[in-house]
A and B are shown apart, each in its own frame.
Chain A
Amino acid sequence: MTITELMPFSVLVPLIAALVCALLPGRFWPWAVTLGACIAAAVIAAITLPAATDLTLSYAFGNWPPPIGIEYRVDAANAFVALLVAGMAAIALTWAKKSVDQEIPERQGTFYALFLLALAGLLGITLSGDAFNIFVFLEISSLATYGLIAHGRDRRALLASFRYLIMGTVGATFLLIGIGFLYIMTGTLNLADLAERVPEVRDTSTVRAALAFIIVGMGIKLALLPLHLWLPNAYTYAPSFVTVFLAGTATKVALYVMLRFVYTVFAPDWSFVVLPLSTVFMILGVAGMFVGSWVALFQPNIKRMLAYSSVAQVGYMVLGVSLASVIGLTAAFLHLFNHALMKTALFMAVGTVIYQVGSARISDFRGLGRTMPWTLTAFALAGLSIIGIPTTAGFVSKWYLIQAALEQGQWFLVVLILITSLMAVIYIWRVIEAAWFQERDPKQRQVGEAPLALLIPTWVLVALNFYFGLDTRLTVGGATAAAEALLGGGIMP
């Protein structure tokens, strides 16, 4: 079996495992099957990445040749995102066991089945080389995600899930309208074929409308600033494990889809030079950085604080995209990867505290630094990464972002990045201050250190944050290859 033939299995294995999982009783087997499927998907993605960096892999389903049949088309950009998604799912799952046992004691088979469907959908979006398939996989993963969020213990989880459903469906339908317009103009749905045919017809209002619909639709999914309203509640009230998983994967895949359309289908010399997309992305990205960080400063609930911080981090990625250069796009991909590492670690640490204390309010974190030193140290170290202290992964991606801004002489962007990083110092410090410099209220629940099953995956991620801060060969190499694959030979001015 060649790598090309192996590739579709990273989607098929979770999809089939979901069916098996839904039928399994008890608490151990559903989790074990899910973990097995995630590791299999991650291994396949890891095998695919080096092969896809050299040349574009293409798998035609049912041996129907590509422009007519459906294909999985994998280059350095998808392979990078697919490895991130599958890898994060596998690490999050090793953490999940205890937390899910506590928060969702019954009917875990269906819960894990939903998780596997969400994962299969995300991987399907990433690997697919067919615009309509992207829409279908987007809906598979979204519908499963609504179900996962609704599992939260608080009844507000239901409301958050419903509102996400409304916004998410509007976003996905916008994407469908955009794809429909492109199909009307070109008569093809294959992304590579679209990329060849769109340039002939792109100076029409139909294609401009298609671009607008796709950007707004995916903007909702990736929580770009004015369209981010579903995210804070969805992250706050979802079960801890679901938050951990979503924070690391869902918005990243949506960003990838937007990049794929903006860069591959509508070549950047049109979308960024003829149309003012660069300005739009820069304004929205900077607004996201500021508003997200600013709102995060005042949140009493740490999960919600980190959710707003995610809105800010999406701003950094979109800012990198707006610079429309190889190094800017490299910074966006780097931050996509590094943000998944640090935000997942932070949500894991908070989830561990929730496991012990039962609350994510900052007032319940008082004095925990002494009784749960390992958990809170992990939080603080992952916090350093989100601030962007040197030797952490967060520093590397911000460094590249600053270089990309300097390359174009945009000094004010460097200042803005530094100011928002200082805001990150403040909101991370609030937690550290509460945990180490305040006494625990004797009336509050007194707790000891969390079980090792929760601590080890958290610390693995914290270690990865430092590892990728020092050894950047894999991340920078992968991100540069991904950026070059999307730019397709450097047509930028």
Chain B
Amino acid sequence: MMTALSFFNYWVVVILMMIGFYCVIARGNMAKKIMGLNLFQTSVFILFISAGKIVGGSTPILREGVEVYSNPLPHVLILTAIVVGVATTAVGLALAVRINEAYGSIEDDHLSEKDSGDEE
């Protein structure tokens, strides 16, 4: 019981990852796909941040009387990865807006119908 609970954050990572991945694969709506993608990326961020935590460790700021610090490096890495994630979301949503302008829909089914007309 204790061991299962002590991996609590990793269970959260796995569940979030699966929900996000399912949304990317199963949803036909492009906005929902982007949301799923975002959730998927966020779960990986939590994985990295969990890896940086040291049991009994303090925040990584140097001060008197503290011997054990958590590892700050994963946080710094994830700061970069969050920026990358925001950029991906922005590009994806911008493309969805352009698709909506060009096709009048962002539902996958409608799009394939409209394209089947002028197939090469």
Residue contact A139 to B84, C-beta cutoff 8 Å: yes
Residue contact B51 to A132, C-beta cutoff 8 Å: no
Residue contact A139 to B51, C-beta cutoff 8 Å: no
Among A132, A150, A176, find the residue whose CB has the most chain B CB atoms closer than 10 A.
A176
- List residues of chain A with CB within 8 A of the CB of B44: 173, 176-177, 180
A177 to B21, CA, bound (A): 14
Query: Given the known A-B contacts A155-B103, A183-B51, A183-B74, are A162 and B96 also in contact in the complex, defined by CB atoms under 8 Å?
Result: yes
Residue contact A158 to B47, C-beta cutoff 8 Å: no
Query: Given the known A-B contacts A155-B103, A173-B40, A183-B51, are A166 and B33 also in contact in the complex, defined by CB atoms under 8 Å?
Result: yes
Query: Given the known A-B contacts A170-B37, A176-B44, A180-B44, are A139 and B87 also in contact in the complex, defined by CB atoms under 8 Å?
Result: yes
A95 to B51, CA, bound (A): 49
Residue contact B95 to A136, C-beta cutoff 8 Å: no
Interface: A264 (CB within 8 A): no
Across the interface, B88 reaches (CB within 8 A) one of A136, A143, A156, A158, namely A143
Query: Given the known A-B contacts A143-B91, A180-B48, are A158 and B98 also in contact in the complex, defined by CB atoms under 8 Å?
Result: yes
Residue contact A165 to B95, C-beta cutoff 8 Å: yes
Least Cβ–Cβ distance between B45 and chain A, in angstroms? 9
Report the interface size class on chain A.
Answer: 20 to 34
B30-56: which have CB < 8 Å to A?
30, 33, 37, 40-41, 44, 47-48, 51
A173 to B44, CA, bound (A): 8
Q: Which residue of A lies closest to B74 (CB)?
A: A183
Residue contact B47 to A180, C-beta cutoff 8 Å: yes
Query: Given the known A-B contacts A159-B111, A170-B24, A183-B51, are A361 and B84 also in contact in the complex, defined by CB atoms under 8 Å?
Result: no
Interface: A184 (CB within 8 A): yes
Query: Given the known A-B contacts A146-B91, A361-B120, are A136 and B80 also in contact in the complex, defined by CB atoms under 8 Å?
Result: yes
Report the interface size class on chain B.
Answer: 20 to 34
* Residues 78-120 of chain B, each 1 if its beta carbon lies under 8 Å from chain A, else 0: 0011001001100110011011001100000001000100001
Q: Which residue of B lies closest to A184 (CB)?
A: B51
Residue contact B81 to A150, C-beta cutoff 8 Å: no
Q: Which residue of B lies closest to A301 (CB)?
A: B120
Least Cβ–Cβ distance between A271 and chain B, in angstroms? 23
A146 to B33, CA, bound (A): 16
Least Cβ–Cβ distance between B60 and chain A, in angstroms? 15
Across the interface, A150 reaches (CB within 8 A) one of B37, B41, B74, B98, namely B98
- List residues of chain A with CB within 8 A of the CB of B77: 132, 189
Across the interface, B99 reaches (CB within 8 A) one of A162, A169, A300, A301, namely A162
* Residues 179-213 of chain A, each 1 if its beta carbon lies under 8 Å from chain B, else 0: 01001100001000000000000000000000000
A176 to B48, CA, bound (A): 9
Q: Which residue of B lies closest to A162 (CB)?
A: B95
Q: Which residue of A lies closest to B30 (CB)?
A: A162
A115 to B120, CA, bound (A): 28
- List residues of chain B with CB within 8 A of the CB of A475: none
A134 to B81, CA, bound (A): 12
Query: Given the known A-B contacts A139-B84, A166-B37, A183-B74, are A155 and B102 also in contact in the complex, defined by CB atoms under 8 Å?
Result: yes
Q: Which residue of A lies closest to B120 (CB)?
A: A301
Residue contact B88 to A165, C-beta cutoff 8 Å: yes
Least Cβ–Cβ distance between B65 and chain A, in angstroms? 25
Query: Given the known A-B contacts A132-B77, A146-B91, A300-B120, are A173 and B41 also in contact in the complex, defined by CB atoms under 8 Å?
Result: yes
Chain A to chain B contacts (Cβ below 8 Å), 12 pairs: A139-B88, A143-B91, A155-B99, A156-B115, A158-B99, A165-B91, A165-B92, A165-B95, A170-B37, A173-B44, A180-B48, A189-B77
Residues in B lying within 8 Å of A, measured CB to CB: 21, 24, 30, 33, 37, 40-41, 44, 47-48, 51, 74, 77, 80-81, 84, 87-88, 91-92, 95-96, 98-99, 102-103, 111, 115, 120
Sorted nearest first, the 5 A-B pairs with minimum C-beta distance are A155-B102, A139-B84, A184-B51, A162-B95, A158-B99
Q: A169-B88, A173-B41 are in contact. List 4 more A-B contacts (CB 8 A).
A: A132-B77, A155-B99, A166-B37, A173-B40
